A = this chain, B = another copy of it.
Amino acid sequence: MTIRTKEDYLDALRSLRPNIYKFGKLIEDVTTDPATKRTVASHASCYEYAQNPDLRKMYTTTSSFTGEPIMRWNSMMQDEGSLLSNMKFKRQNYRHTGTCTGAVCVGWNSQNVMWAVTEEMDKEYGTKYQERLKNWILRAQDLGLTVSGALTDAKGDRSKTPSQQEDPDVNLHVKEIRDDGIVIRGAKVMICGTAAAQEIFLLPGSVYKEVDKDYALSCVVPRDIDGLTIVEARHPSDKRELEETSSVEVPDTGITQGWLLFDDVFVPNERVFMCGENKYTGKIISYFTANYRACIGGCVTGQGDVMIGASILMARANGLSAKTFMNKLVDMSIQNQVTFGMGAGAIALGRDHPSGSFFADPLTAHANKVMVATLPYEVKRLTQEIGGGIVETGCMPSFADFSNPDYGPFLQKCLKAGSCSAESRFKAARLSEWLTIGAGVPGCMHGGGSPDGAKLVVRFTTPMEEYAEFARKIIGIEEEIVENGK
């Protein structure tokens, strides 16, 4: 087995049935359509890096099953080191590509979560889910598949459970169980990276009771499976991506979010890893969020690093010294490192699962999610502060104006400030704008779940009553101090 090349990957994407839409039109080729080519390009770079002697170590690893070299994102994460590498990989990749690894991030985590949960289910129910999963993983490793993942359902009326909804399709569910597989139906929404993915790993979106067991469902499907329609969502400035002025738009980088509409999709048994075992949906959510929120600082920090870099460029392009803003740059670095360091800490405080999987400490991971939903906003604010009005207020002319033969030269001399060219300042300003208010802004608030959800976990993993007992003992209060109103 050898690591696949960039061309293998692009060919594989091109061979898929077109089933992705945007702006009401079918995207014929994701590798060239302006709406998807950027995210494809950034993932394609990974295959190049996997061949690069300096970067290979980050992008590839060894299969724990076969000992063969594989893409890192197809690997099992069974100890602290491999989970740390997940974080480091995401940070490094952001620095190199300017975007996240959305087409592999959730899929990678899902396969590791399901490794543990299938073992637990197999033990209780005598199922063979783990073996199916292993076979699928071996194939994914062999092919170096990009596998995105999908949890979030459309949900509908939140005061009701899935089976109580007027329309069952607002949550993905098993519609029919056949001998050779299952038929699934419903919607997963706001799913990252499917345009650059070859397959999609499906997990339940919440914890379900017996009555909702049809919604307890996990499987992997090819991105172009029959019956699946994907609609790409918009980004703040995605119409810019359609412009011809490729010389100024941030190139070869970007991410997408899609709405996945499953219209009676048949999934063969060998790709099904949960079907009705609602009791284990809680485990999936709990394992998934622990590791995902531990590592969530990886990409966010990588983006922060690029914001530091962009701010240095802007300071200089504005004709000032980057040193003038050293206090702010250091603050940005500290805020980046908080989310990265806490993630590493959640891993260091994690624990082994009997299946071989490894899970991060929930309290630290969920506290980290709250930081991730807060600190990057301040880093963005500082990027805008350092960059100046030209970055912040929507104050750059279009490239068509910049290069207009009549008034373009006047604009260009207005843009010349430091020792670099007007065009470099133009580009640097666009980068900072893109990172802070354009398509480069990542979904750090709700991606991986909402901070309010994380706070709930913090609440229940903080031993509040135990702390009250410590306090009571320290000050020497002898009576119990009970909750009022009880």
Contact of A481 among B169, B329, B374, B420 (CB under 8 A): B420
Is the pair A392, B443 in contact by a Cβ cutoff of 8 Å? yes
Instruction: List the B side residues contacting A300 at CB < 8 Å.
Output: none
Q: Is A476 an interface residue (CB 8 A)?
A: yes
Is the pair B470, A305 in contact by a Cβ cutoff of 8 Å? yes
Is the pair A398, B95 in contact by a Cβ cutoff of 8 Å? no
Count identical subunits in the complex: 4
When C-beta atoms are compared, the residue in chain B nearest to A94 turns out to be B470
Q: Is A184 an interface residue (CB 8 A)?
A: no
Is the pair A310, B428 in contact by a Cβ cutoff of 8 Å? no
Is the pair A313, B234 in contact by a Cβ cutoff of 8 Å? no
Q: Is A57 an interface residue (CB 8 A)?
A: no
When C-beta atoms are compared, the residue in chain B nearest to A414 turns out to be B154
Whether A479 contacts B420 in the complex (CB less than 8 A), given A234-B397, A239-B237, A468-B312, comes out as: yes
Instruction: List the B side residues contacting A154 at CB < 8 Å.
Output: 413-415
Q: Which of A5-13, A283-291, A454-462 is found at the contact surface with chain B?
A: A454-462
When C-beta atoms are compared, the residue in chain B nearest to A334 turns out to be B367
CA gap between A236 and B380 in the complex, in Å:
15
Whether A471 contacts B313 in the complex (CB less than 8 A), given A427-B476, A450-B385, A479-B421, comes out as: yes
Q: Which of A60-68, A209-217, A337-345 is found at the contact surface with chain B?
A: A337-345
CA gap between A323 and B155 in the complex, in Å:
20
CA gap between A485 and B160 in the complex, in Å:
12
Q: Is A400 an interface residue (CB 8 A)?
A: yes
CB-defined A-B contacts under 8 Å, sample of 23: A21-B407, A23-B398, A155-B319, A155-B417, A157-B319, A167-B413, A169-B413, A187-B410, A229-B407, A229-B410, A234-B397, A234-B398, A261-B410, A306-B470, A308-B467, A308-B468, A338-B367, A341-B342, A373-B385, A388-B446, A395-B443, A420-B477, A428-B475
Is the pair A450, B23 in contact by a Cβ cutoff of 8 Å? no
> Smallest Cβ distance from A167 to chain B, in angstroms?
5
> Smallest Cβ distance from A194 to chain B, in angstroms?
13
What sequence of 0s and 1s flags, for each residue 401-442 of chain A, a beta carbon within 8 Å of any chain B beta carbon? Answer: 101101100110111111111001001101101000111011
Most chain B CB within 10 A, of A236, A394, A474, is at A474
Categorize the interface residue count of chain A.
35 or more
Q: Is A22 an interface residue (CB 8 A)?
A: yes
> Smallest Cβ distance from A344 to chain B, in angstroms?
3
CA gap between A190 and B232 in the complex, in Å:
34
Instruction: List the B side residues contacting A257 at CB < 8 Å.
Output: 393-395
CA gap between A371 and B217 in the complex, in Å:
42
Is the pair A239, B240 in contact by a Cβ cutoff of 8 Å? yes
What sequence of 0s and 1s flags, for each residue 207-238 of chain A, a beta carbon within 8 Å of any chain B beta carbon? Answer: 00000000000000000000001011111111
Q: Is A152 an interface residue (CB 8 A)?
A: yes
Q: Is A333 an interface residue (CB 8 A)?
A: yes
CA gap between A428 and B310 in the complex, in Å:
33
> Smallest Cβ distance from A366 to chain B, in angstroms?
8
> Smallest Cβ distance from A21 to chain B, in angstroms?
6
Is the pair B344, A310 in contact by a Cβ cutoff of 8 Å? no
CA gap between A392 and B442 in the complex, in Å:
9
> Smallest Cβ distance from A390 to chain B, in angstroms?
7
Is the pair B394, A443 in contact by a Cβ cutoff of 8 Å? yes
Q: Is A309 an interface residue (CB 8 A)?
A: yes
When C-beta atoms are compared, the residue in chain B nearest to A297 turns out to be B345
Is the pair A309, B416 in contact by a Cβ cutoff of 8 Å? no
Q: Is A368 an interface residue (CB 8 A)?
A: yes
Q: Which 8 A-B pairs have the closest CB atoms?
A: A239-B239, A393-B443, A309-B471, A24-B400, A344-B345, A309-B467, A341-B345, A389-B446
